[in-house]
Amino acid sequence: MDDKRSITAEDLATSREAFSSERANVIAKNAVSSVGLRKAARVPEGVAQNTLQFDIEVTQGERTNQERSGRCWMFASLNTMRFRTIKRYKLKTFELSQTYPLFFDKLEKSNWFFENILDTLDEPLSGRLVAHLLSDPIGDGGQWDMFKSLVKKYGVVPKESMPETACSKNTREMDSYLTRYLRAAAKRLRETAAAGADEDDLLSMKKEMMRDVYTLLTTCLGEPPKSFDVRLRDKDDKVALSGHFTPREFFDKAVGMELDDYVSLISAPTSDKPFGRSFTVSRLGNVVEDGGVRYLNLTPARLKELAVSQLKDGLPVWFGCDVAQSYLRDEGIMDTAALDVDGLLGFPVEGALDKAERLDFGESLMTHAMVLEGVRLDGAGRPALWKVENSWGKDHGRDGFDTLSDAWFDEYVYQVVVDRAYLTDEERAAYGAEPVVLEPWDPMGSLAR
């Protein structure tokens, strides 16, 4: 046995002695083994800075809840949209259906998957690209550009027009069976192509497969309404909007958001992604005819400036982040100063990698989307603390709200969506320039869930 390559009895004895000789280690062990790492590392002085007091704030309706699904990107998008409806018609609260876009996202992702399978028939099944396509073809997650594509094509409906079902509130079963069907269908397409079928035959097969997908989704989620009646009452119980609408008519009338005006900005400080350049991710999207995603990479400071500008104009801001990092979930606090894991353990863990290194080494990526609805400014007018609307129900955090410190923004916010009007001419030109194409597995291609 090579003692330099194996854990020896001497190694164990040395580590045991080193641990027990430090009083702090023993205290940390007793605390962590009783309540867990984060609770033991909680810093009360840091927590105390996260009060719900803001200089700029928009008022939203009642909290929404994505339940046991990965629809945060949909909830965040719909929360920015329903805000406009609530404000326009002076409603007490209002909610758009999250089941409706879920149905069409699964449908469109299935078609997107089949198109990618047909486009990679010459790729080896064991290769990285096909393995990536098969890994999670219709997962719940997504990004702003993908939601924009859904709304442009299908519109939106009030929640009561397509309410939640058991399968929308808990998508695991539906996703599992649909994924299994899609993988089997991919096998059939590849085998049929290998047997000599032409393109028309394969596309005909795909159409039949898509009818099966529609059947599965309708069974789980119900039939999406083609049109519906609406009667909204304002805070004084007066009828503010009534009529019969298609989903696209309702979006135009009740939301009235110019979707193409809103652009996705990322902040990724890795060496392969220079600031001021536009990017896209190969094979990432849902609606085939609308294309994929596009980002402009800017510094965190610039993302914050743009978010504050939109908030000052009374509009919320969609954003994506790595929510699990430095997060006191029960209290709804995202703050690097509210946790001191490294001080508890006595060596760097959270501080072992910087933001670029976390992206490069697979430690961090965008995992969750929420809405910025307020900001506290310091004496110099710079952001100090952000108010966040989550989609985990009113019992989460503080009445469904979280707070996000400015230092946490620098480290773990990866994406914001703002009106292109706030960009400079140079930034708008950079956004519209031919994008650099990132690999399908690049961390900037991660989906908020």
DSSP notation for 259-272: GGGEEEEE----TT
Does the residue 48 lie in any domain? no
Alpha-carbon distance of 284 to 108, in angstroms, equals 12
Instruction: Report which residue type is found at 56.
Output: I
Residue-level pLDDT at 403: 98
The residue from 72, 167, 220, 321 that is catalytic is 72
What CATH code is carried by the domain that includes residue 72?
3.90.70.10
Is the CB of residue 292 less than 8 Å from the CB of residue 119? no
Residue-level pLDDT at 3: 83
Minimal CA–CA distance to 74: which of 143, 154, 164? Answer: 143
The full DSSP string for 364-393 is ----EEEEEEEEEE-TTS-EEEEEEE-SB-
Range of the domain at 29: 9-41
Domain tally, the chain: 2
154 and 37 within one domain: no
125 and 22 within one domain: no
The residue from 79, 111, 286, 390 that is catalytic is 390
The full DSSP string for 284-338 is --S-GGG----EEE--HHHHHHHHHHHHHTT--EEEEE-TTTTEETTTTEE-TTS
Residue whose pair of structure tokens reads 């309404």 in the numeric block: 225
Does the residue 47 lie in any domain? no
Query: Is 72 a residue of the active site?
Result: yes
117 and 24 within one domain: no
Does the residue 435 lie in any domain? yes
259 and 352 within one domain: yes
Is the CB of residue 286 less than 8 Å from the CB of residue 273? no
Is the CB of residue 86 less than 8 Å from the CB of residue 109? no
123 and 21 within one domain: no
Query: Is 368 a residue of the active site?
Result: yes
118 and 22 within one domain: no
Does the residue 51 lie in any domain? no
Where on the phi/psi map is residue 143: left (φ > 0), alpha (ψ -120 to 50), or beta?
A: beta
136 and 35 within one domain: no
Residue-level pLDDT at 1: 62
Is the CB of residue 83 less than 8 Å from the CB of residue 256? no
Question: Facing residues of 244 across strands?
Answer: 229
Dihedral (CA of 245, 248, 252, 254) sign? positive
Does the residue 400 lie in any domain? yes
18 and 92 within one domain: no
74 and 20 within one domain: no
CB < 8 Å & 24+ apart, contacts of 379-382: 382/406
- Average pLDDT for runs of 10 along the chain of length 449: 88 97 96 97 97 96 98 98 98 98 98 98 98 97 98 98 98 98 98 98 98 98 98 97 98 98 98 98 98 97 98 98 97 97 97 98 98 97 97 97 98 98 98 98 97
Query: Is 390 a residue of the active site?
Result: yes
Alpha-carbon distance of 416 to 144, in angstroms, equals 9
Does the residue 387 lie in any domain? yes
320 and 198 within one domain: yes
Residue-level pLDDT at 2: 79
Written as six digits, the tokens of 35 are 């309540």
> 317, exposed or middle or buried, with CB in 10 Å at 0-12, 13-18, 19+?
buried
60 and 36 within one domain: no
100 and 22 within one domain: no
Does the residue 164 lie in any domain? yes
Does the residue 221 lie in any domain? yes
